[in-house]
Amino acid sequence: MADRTTVSDDDQGKPVVDDNGEKVGVVSEVRGGTAYVDPDPGVTDKVKSRLGWSDADEDDYPLADDEIATVADDEIRLA
């Protein structure tokens, strides 16, 4: 599958990395085409997110489309 720049429900649980490849968080939820990023997920949060059981909370940040460089099979890279 080719890289893309929009998120889907399948992207929940993916790591989010900056343009240097440093991990900045994990997608906790995708809602209405917007990814919400948990900047400091614990092990439980990571597992729940990967299984689709997690919901974004007040500590999660929405990721705007123009902030996404690519959405790959294994990560979301920021612009």
Q: DSSP characters for 9-51? A: GGGTT-EEE-TTS-EEEEEEEEETTEEEEESS--HHHHHHHHT
Could you state, in order of their start, the residue ranges of all structural domains in the chain? Answer: 9-78
Q: How confident is the model at residue 66 (pLDDT cuts 50, 70, 90)?
A: very high
pLDDT value at 68 more than 70:
yes
Query: What confidence tens digit (pLDDT) does each residue in 31-60 have?
Result: 999 999 988 766 556 555 655 656 666 778
Q: Which CATH number fits domain 9-78: 3.30.530, 3.10.20, 2.30.30, 2.60.40?
A: 2.30.30
Tokens of 49: 């997110």
Q: Is residue 16 within 8 Å of residue 37, measured between CB atoms?
A: yes
